[in-house]
Amino acid sequence: MLSPKSFFSFEKWEYRDIFNECENVWEVLPQIKDYVRDRINPNVEMIRREFGFTVEKTCVIWEGRLLFDGFHLEPGDVTKKNFLVSDSVGRMEGATVIFAGASLMDDEIELKPGAVIEPGALIKGPTIVGKYADVRQGAYLRGGCLIGDQCVVGHTTEVKNSLMLPGAKAGHFAYIGDSVLGKDCNLGAGTKLANLKIKGREVVVKVDDEKIGTGLRKFGAILGDEVQTGCNSVINPGTVVGPRSLVYPCVAVWPAYYPPESVIK
């Protein structure tokens, strides 16, 4: 009931082995940072060598080359592969775009083909940003971030020590701390996944009448595949939500286990 397979369909995900040793789904959280560091193939060193921390000119990584000119951008939905990059020959399929004004704070960052990093985004390592993922203006990736393919980290959204499985989206004003978002999960604007109890004690998960200790002081939420949260919802530390569940807008979700297809009002 509480194993990763009860929440996520990750069999085809290239990073599925992160769950191999997890009996309970939240046991993945302390592993994230080291796992990302072990699996990362950094590719921003040449950008940082050129500019330092903050990118001063929009550039493209394509076929292992760093380009500052000779390309044309036609903005569109990144996750649907409608953000077009082309040169005089034709479309540059899989080109990664880093806009001027983005900040890359260290070398432990991998930006995969088709990813777009907008102006004002700030990324710390170790972080992997997946294929055709959209990191929007003002996003803050604090490190220990594994952002799956075709994910959205939106405007003024902060992510820290968290997994976003392919297709997960946090488009506007979200906080994602020590959490996991399942495939095609969507956070309504202003959703907060709080990761620290006010008194800083161990986070426990309530399942029916039983309280299960996690051994974790910082633990936000586990949201299964296709979970949707309404705008301005607050998910309290230690909340575990089964796939295809709905959270109503402006709800403060009590920390507990919620089975698949729950409607939380």
Cβ contact 174:191 at 8 Å = yes
Catalytic: which of 16, 37, 81, 172?
172
Cβ contact 207:26 at 8 Å = no
Instruction: Give the span between the Cα atoms of 59 and 125, in whole angstroms.
Output: 20
Indicate left, alpha or beta for 200 from its phi (over 0: left) and psi (-120 to 50: alpha): left
Residue 224 CB partners (closer than 8 Å, separation 6+): 6, 7, 8, 182, 185, 241, 242, 243, 244, 245, 260
Is 172 an active-site residue? Answer: yes
Q: CB atoms < 10 A from the CB of 250, how many?
A: 12
| Residues catalogued as catalytic | 172
